[in-house]
Chain A
Amino acid sequence: MHPALQGLITIIIGVGGCIGYFYLSNLFIDRVLFPATGKNAGRNINRANMVRPWLFLFPAIFALGLYLAYPVVETLRLSLTDRSAGGAFVGLANYRQMVSEPKFWEAMSNNMLWLIVVPAASTAFGLLAAQLTDRIKWGNIAKSLIFMPMAISFVGASVIFKLVYDARPAGQNQIGVLNAVWMNFDGGVWSIIFLRILPAAILLVFAALMLYLIYTAGRPIVDRNATRGGLSVWAILLRGIAVIGAVWLGYLALKSVYSVFTANLPFGEPQNWLTILFWNNFFLMVVLIWIQTGFAMVILSAALRGIPEETIEAAVIDGANPFDIFFKIKVPQIMGTIVVVWTTITLVVLKIFDIVFAMTNGQWETQVLANYMYDKLFRANDWGVGSASAIVIMLLVSPILIWNVYNARKEMK
């Protein structure tokens, strides 16, 4: 039990040391450095009060600086140097090398796919679950069961879903749920309903949603009278990006509807889901969606409860149906929370590592940035390119960082 004992001693030393530091240093300025007695008492009290905050803050600032702020700068520096050349400055050579690697672009495009699908799906499922469970008696039990995957590690979830995706040769009993269900499809009526019509309907709904987004985001750009006071350059730029993104996604959705009907599905053959190129990304995303939905649900359900009753009552009196109430009264009022949930999940997605590492390790074209970086750092031992890809992750995160800081400052004023 040697490491456990070591752990116990560390807790005692660590916690005792921290408390001792705070207590003794506090005592030191009060009694020795600036005693609140004698002829300088007033001045000393003021001085002690000026020093004390920094005393309380010092350990935190030190740890934050050393473990988070310094590495950002240092990683940036490392990404511009070459380790094998003794740390010589090489400019953007590492970035050039990284950009020339197909694996990097595979990781980038997969990450973009993750960034679109996972936050959208988790937030949508979370909103759905929050709305459905809000008004029923056993809603709290349902909520905690949907929330439960939050406590499960990404690695544990990977094992859980490996069992779901497991494949046995044809002719044996399938032990993975997905293949067991798949083997029931034979190209008959049910197969057409579930594998052609249902996905096509979902895609069409998605395309319609994109059309609506293009309309709401694009109208103020074209029609200046739609918003009061006109738009700033930034707002036009943001809306323009949103419209272009929506057009592209809508086009993709419509194109997929066609392929859903023409795809030749291999009925009756057990599938190795994680080795089907492109689609295996989605099977990995399912794991994260499964984990994050509970988080989205908990936060959105609190936001839904915070909506003033009067607005809903007024809508009911005006004859709104439940769907109108949900989409036109409730959702607009919790838009701020939806954005927060979305960005939080986006942050998780950008750093996603464990799921890919445990399930495919980037094989079969499932590489993502964080795993690419790990590969570079600890398998290829190429610190330059590894740091460069870490900086790419940082760059992807930074819009959210700026947005968060901006909001926090606005709040404090």
Chain B
Amino acid sequence: MSSIAGTKSGLTWAVHISVVALVLLWLFPTVGLFVSSFRTADQISSSGWWDALFPQEQNLVMRTADPDTQRQEGAQFVIDGNLFEINGENTAGTISAWGTSSRAISEYKPGDTADMGDDGRITVQANGDYVWQNDVEFQGRRGERVFVTAKAPPKFTLANYERVLFSGSTTDSMAKAFFNTLTVTIPATVIPIVIAAFAAYALAWMRFPGRALLIAAVVALLVVPLQLALIPLLRLHNEIGIGKGYLGVWLAHTGFGLPLAVYLLRNYMVGLPRDIIECAKVDGATDFQIFTRIVLPLSFPALASFAIFQFLWTWNDLLVALVFLIDATGETTVMTRQIVELLGTRGGNWEILATAAFVSIAVPLVVFFAMQRYLVRGLLAGSVK
């Protein structure tokens, strides 16, 4: 081990640095969308989102207080105060340069005094405090213009979310699509689990001719592309009168999710200890009782992992919803469809797009981080055997 121990620290550092780089690379795009959803349209189109996290340099035109606020100190007439306070709280920042003429807006540094001849002398500090003095009384109705180059701290807004979630605007509102997606997702997740659990139990613990063939069929159906199902099923739905609607999409998701559900659950149930089930049989339990009292509770991890898969898949689905659910009225549109539509109509309005996309991403992300353990377990059971 000594030859490796010698090079270890260098290699370890290299590993740490590459992992950091990889993680940042993978996070960067998502963070971009997330940050953009909290910025105004002007901010998004004027600078990259990565600038939003740092103080921004901006040029502002401000005015001092009006001459009628002046007071006399000895022979001097004085107007003082804070530029930022007078011009509104949301311009607050740190002044790095200022000027009194539009031709030289960064003529002075903070703390310098500008001599404006008859108009007096003005001193501006970095925090916006100013003192404007003159030997004679100030004339005119408005204050002196001051051009300021200020570093403004990052500013974020919730207005986009308000617009997307609560405005009720027909084009931008995601509220309806959000509930539609939820309406599609929940039954489409729960129903296949119930059906698949019974089938998986039969395939795992009951003996009957043709069992191996059925398992092989499930494995084969696992990879059948659902593209093939679109036309025949749409025709079928139209013929039996379901048409396009929730019932059709629930049935379709159930059908498409079943192979994975049966496969995952059967693989898990086969691995349950034989003793428990045989003991129960000896004690006179029927298959139905064994299933509901023993196998189902023990299979909770597998049930949970399939539930997460199916939830993510139905929530994120576009194709099945397009074909089986969304009709010409668009009343039943889902979020993915709405976002594609926004990409077409509001391709440049990143504040709306980013927020809408993030609303649809948020729920799966929460589910993902909360239930990651089961998701990983399901993935492993599904592909590594």
Contact = CB atoms under 8 A, between A and B. Distances in A.
A299 interface: yes
Interface stretch (B13-21, B99-107, B134-142, B297-305): B13-21
B202 A153 contact: no
Nearest to B255: A67
B232 A75 contact: yes
Interface stretch (B147-155, B164-172, B376-384): B376-384
A23 interface: yes
A327 to B, nearest CB: 16
Interface string A121-132: 000000011001
A124 to B, nearest CB: 12
Contacts of B353: 159, 162-163
B1 interface: yes
B215 A393 contact: no
Interface in B343-367: 343, 350, 353-354, 356-357, 360-361, 364-365, 367
Given A57-B203, A69-B221, 20 more contacts: A10-B247, A14-B187, A56-B198, A57-B199, A66-B236, A68-B224, A129-B19, A147-B372, A148-B27, A153-B336, A155-B316, A177-B32, A180-B48, A180-B50, A321-B4, A354-B318, A390-B230, A408-B216, A409-B212, A412-B212
Interface string B326-345: 00000010001001100100
Contacts of B23: 142, 145-146
Tell me whether chain B's interface is mostly helix, strand or loop, or mixed: helix
A120 to B, nearest CB: 17
29 contacts: A3-B179, A7-B246, A11-B187, A11-B190, A15-B191, A18-B194, A56-B201, A56-B202, A67-B252, A68-B255, A68-B258, A71-B229, A72-B224, A136-B16, A145-B23, A145-B26, A148-B27, A148-B365, A152-B365, A153-B318, A154-B318, A159-B356, A180-B50, A302-B380, A370-B227, A378-B322, A391-B228, A394-B224, A404-B220
A49 B23 CA distance: 55
Interface string A164-190: 101010000111110010000000000
Interface of A: 1, 3-4, 6-7, 10-11, 14-15, 18-19, 22-23, 26, 30, 49-50, 52-54, 56-57, 59-61, 63-64, 66-72, 74-75, 78, 128-129, 132-133, 135-136, 139, 142, 144-156, 158-164, 166, 168, 173-177, 180, 290, 293-295, 298-299, 302-303, 316, 319, 321-322, 337, 340-341, 344, 347, 350-351, 353-354, 357-358, 370, 373-374, 377-378, 383, 386-387, 390-391, 393-394, 397, 400-401, 404-405, 408-409, 411-412
B208 A357 contact: no
A357 B336 CA distance: 11
A154 B191 CA distance: 24
B29 A160 contact: yes
Contact of B255 (A64, A160, A290): A64
Contact of B182 (A4, A70, A135, A149): A4
B384 A340 contact: yes
B279 to A, nearest CB: 18
B226 to A, nearest CB: 7
A160 B357 contact: yes
Tell me whether chain A's interface is mostly helix, strand or loop, or mixed: helix
A351 B228 CA distance: 10
Nearest to A411: B385
Interface of B: 1, 3-4, 11-12, 15-16, 18-19, 22-23, 26-30, 32-33, 36, 44-50, 179-180, 182-184, 186-187, 190-191, 194-196, 198-199, 201-203, 206-208, 211-212, 214-233, 236, 246-247, 250-252, 254-256, 258-259, 262, 286-288, 291, 312, 315-319, 322-323, 332, 336, 339-340, 343, 350, 353-354, 356-357, 360-361, 364-365, 367-369, 372, 375-376, 379-380, 383-385
Contacts of B247: 10
A60 B255 CA distance: 8
Nearest to A334: B384
Given A295-B379, A299-B383, A405 B219 contact: yes
Nearest to B365: A151
A390 B224 CA distance: 11
Contact of B15 (A135, A149, A298, A378): A135
Contacts of A351: 225-227
Contact of B227 (A11, A14, A390, A408): A390
Contact of A401 (B224, B316, B357): B224
Contact of A161 (B29, B252, B339, B361): B29
Contact of A347 (B202, B218, B223, B336): B223
Given A54-B208, A319-B3, A386 B288 contact: no
Contact of B232 (A52, A64, A70): A70
Nearest to B28: A177
Contact of B1 (A70, A163, A316, A391): A316
Contacts of A74: 231-232
A32 to B, nearest CB: 15
B183 A23 contact: no
B219 A404 contact: yes
A341 to B, nearest CB: 7
B220 A159 contact: no
A303 B375 CA distance: 16
Given A3-B332, A144-B372, A298-B376, A303 B384 contact: yes
Contacts of A293: 26
Contacts of B225: 350-351, 370, 390, 393-394, 397
